[in-house]
Amino acid sequence: MSLTLYNTLTRSKQPFEPIDPERIAMYVCGPTVYNRVHIGNARPAVVFDTLYRVLNTLYPKVEYARNITDIDDKIMKTAAELGEDISALSTRYAQAYFDDMAALNNLSPTIVPYATQHIPEMIDMVTRLIEKGHAYNIDNGVEGEQGHVLFAVQSMSDYGALSGRSLDDMLAGARVEVASYKKYAGDFVLWKPSADNEPGWDSPWGRGRPGWHLECSAMIEKHLGDTIDIHGGGQDLIFPHHENEIAQSCCAHDGKPFANVWMHNGFINIEGEKMSKSLGNFRMVNDLLEQYPGEVLRYVILSAHYRSEQNFGKDLLDSAWRSLDTLYGFLRTHNDIEAASVDISDSDAYIALLDDLNTPMAISELHKLAREMHSAEGDNLPLAKGRLLANAGLMGLLQQDPEQWFTLSRGSDDISAEDVEALIAKRNQAKTDKDYAGADAVREELKSLGVVLEDSREGTKWRRG
RNA sequence: GGCGCGGUAGCAAAGUGGUAAUGCUGUGGACUGCAACUCCGCCAUCGUCGGUUCGAUUCCGACCCGCGCCUCCA
């Protein structure tokens, strides 16, 4: 089997052909660290983490880079508002991002480059772009204009290829006022001057800071090479961010392709509406994590195809939680069975993932595998369990201890495990005494505390639900 | 105005030219002291209208509806 991916560049699914099968290079746009991240930021992380896991089954070495944008006007603004040092702020939120992503069972990327640690590389790239006639420096001494370096989009013949726009199209609907010093309205900033009270770095064009798009091009060049296999990010980044990355990198490399496959995940909406400041409906990952296990968030994200728009809501989260309860319930029943190591290369779940990351299909196969495990007997049981766990592992699911899944506290004021055990003992005594009314009273009491009891031949199990 | 996406059961969501996976919910039954878990079963003709075809939800066209992007929002 081979991997097929949808390429935004060609707007079609195509077989993935690595540049070098010994080393796959993938880059995904990471967060700008000026706040906690919302669930929409988590989608690309989960999606491309899953792709990373799949790639690792196919190739010996996968270099997966996800950047941290730690210099940006939004960061500067927030730091000023909080009266906090910019690097302290960005360090704090970068760590918060890592924590949130880890809670969603994302593996760490192999490379996590920071923008501020690549300023020389960025300046070098701008210098080359100017030399090659793709960029120009504003050197007119005019306050507010002096010190800008702009990319000249007209110097690139196929600018707009990724987003499918012509220069005229882009300008026709432009909503933003055009700076007068631009030679052409579509030109974008590579380098901009910093005021004395703003962070800045010395450059051939004066003290300043990089434009947003520059860091990705420079860091990819440094860590992954001129041409990479896969570049990913949110759908909204197609234009202008990725378009401009392509412009910078291709022009700096005399037209060499930048990324062979461009992948973009769809947006997450909240109860049918786009997350936005005006609606005040952002769902921050850390807030959600107070109410739901990270695996529930991950399951929800993977329950829809990554290119589709997805509606986040309470019903969806609760439904996902119950689905995971069912799966972990099967695993709990067979907790004493040791999973056999199995070859999953011909499993339907794996095949689904190879088809442009069809995670909804793969998850449905997980449910089938769980039922197969449940009905398996003898030597087939360890094999069936192995198949379930291995396939789930490709998506970062079902890897925790099922006992823990059901008994871990699900809220701040939960009854303790010890107290639950004590009440179960009390109930068992009542049952032994044939005092069923008393036993039921205990059951009801625990139920009101969010604990469900399950009797079986082996004794009474409990879970929070 | 330009570019693009989507409309499948109560909800979510795959998929296929030959009458539609999977999960949650609901519901009938088995199991159970009662439950829960689990097991067996039931619950859709795929936005509308045309066309192509032996046959379309799946291809083509029109229409209706919803949505995204168009310079820094994943």
Pairing verdict, β A268-270 and A273-274: antiparallel
Q: Where is A58: in which H helix or E strand?
A: helix A39-58
Q: What confidence score (pLDDT) does residue A276 get?
A: 75
Q: Does A176 score more than 60 pLDDT?
A: no
The integer distance in angstroms from the CA atom of A437 to the C1' atom of B66 is 54
Strand B contacts in A 208-267 (CB under 7 A): 211-212, 233-240, 265-267
Shared-domain flag, residues A193 and A143: yes
The integer distance in angstroms from the CA atom of A177 to the C1' atom of B20 is 51
Please answer whether residues A345 and A354 qualify as being in contact, where contact means their C-beta atoms are separated by less than 8 angstroms.
no
* A318 CB and strand B closer than 7 A: yes
The integer distance in angstroms from the CA atom of A418 to the C1' atom of B26 is 36
Residue nearest to nucleotide B13 (CA to C1'): A304
Q: What confidence score (pLDDT) does residue A412 get?
A: 61
pLDDT category, A1, cuts 50, 70, 90?
Answer: low
The alpha carbons of chain A give a radius of gyration, in whole angstroms, of 26
Enter the DSSP assignment of A238: I
User: Mean pLDDT of all residues in chain A?
Assistant: 92
Shared-domain flag, residues A12 and A57: yes
Q: What confidence score (pLDDT) does residue A137 get?
A: 94
Residue where a domain stops, chosen among A355, A382, A405: A405
Q: pLDDT (tens digit, 9 = 90+) per residue, A10-26?
A: 888 999 999 999 999 99
In Å, what is the CA distance from A174 to each residue of A177, A256, A275, A456? Answer: 8, 29, 23, 67
Q: What confidence score (pLDDT) does residue A282 get?
A: 87
In Å, what is the CA distance from A338 to each residue of A324, A326, A334, A376, A459? Answer: 20, 20, 9, 14, 21
Strand B contacts in A 84-143 (CB under 7 A): none
pLDDT category, A35, cuts 50, 70, 90?
Answer: very high
The integer distance in angstroms from the CA atom of A376 to the C1' atom of B32 is 23
Q: Where is A417: in which H helix or E strand?
A: helix A417-432
Determine the average pLDDT of the residues in A267-294.
86
A337 burial class (0-12, 13-18, 19+ CB within 10 angstroms)? middle
Shared-domain flag, residues A165 and A32: yes
Residue A187's nearest nucleotide, by CA–C1', is: B71
Q: What confidence score (pLDDT) does residue A268 get?
A: 92
Shared-domain flag, residues A417 and A382: no
Residue A434's nearest nucleotide, by CA–C1', is: B33
Please answer whether residues A262 and A9 qualify as being in contact, where contact means their C-beta atoms are separated by less than 8 angstroms.
yes
Q: Does A177 score more than 60 pLDDT?
A: no
Both tokens of A328, joined, read 């972990």
Residue A366's nearest nucleotide, by CA–C1', is: B22
Shared-domain flag, residues A401 and A423: no
Residue where a domain stops, chosen among A358, A374, A405: A405
CATH code at A159?
3.40.50.620
Query: CA A385, CA A406: separation in Å to the nearest integer?
Result: 19
Determine the average pLDDT of the residues in A432-457.
92
Shared-domain flag, residues A421 and A343: no
Number of domains in chain A: 3
Please answer whether residues A334 and A381 qualify as being in contact, where contact means their C-beta atoms are separated by less than 8 angstroms.
yes
Shared-domain flag, residues A367 and A329: yes
E-strand ranges in A97-139 read 135-137
Q: Where is A65: in which H helix or E strand?
A: strand A62-66
Strand B contacts in A 157-216 (CB under 7 A): 163-166, 169-176, 185-189, 192, 211-212
Question: Which strand B nucleotides have any atom less than 7 A from protein CB atoms?
Answer: 1-6, 11-15, 21-25, 32-39, 67-74
Shared-domain flag, residues A436 and A324: no
Side-chain-side CA neighbours of A135 within 13 Å: the count stands at 30
Q: pLDDT (tens digit, 9 = 90+) per residue, A373-410?
A: 999 999 999 999 999 999 999 999 999 999 999 988 77
Bridge partner residues of A456 (DSSP): A459
Shared-domain flag, residues A253 and A308: no
In Å, what is the CA distance from A244 to each residue of A12, A119, A150, A189, A203? Answer: 22, 18, 11, 10, 21
CATH code at A362?
1.10.730.10
Shared-domain flag, residues A195 and A220: yes
Pairing verdict, β A228-234 and A259-265: parallel
Q: Where is A295: in which H helix or E strand?
A: helix A294-302
- What percent of chain A lies above the pLDDT cut of 70? 96
Residue where a domain stops, chosen among A239, A265, A291: A265
The integer distance in angstroms from the CA atom of A39 to the C1' atom of B16 is 33
Q: Please give the residue range of the domain that contains residue A349.
A: 270-405
Shared-domain flag, residues A285 and A254: no
Query: CA A191, CA A128: separation in Å to the nearest integer?
Result: 13
E-strand ranges in A206-291 read 208-210, 228-234, 259-265, 268-270, 273-274
Shared-domain flag, residues A123 and A234: yes
Q: pLDDT (tens digit, 9 = 90+) per residue, A230-265?
A: 999 999 899 889 999 999 999 999 999 999 999 999
The integer distance in angstroms from the CA atom of A271 to the C1' atom of B47 is 21
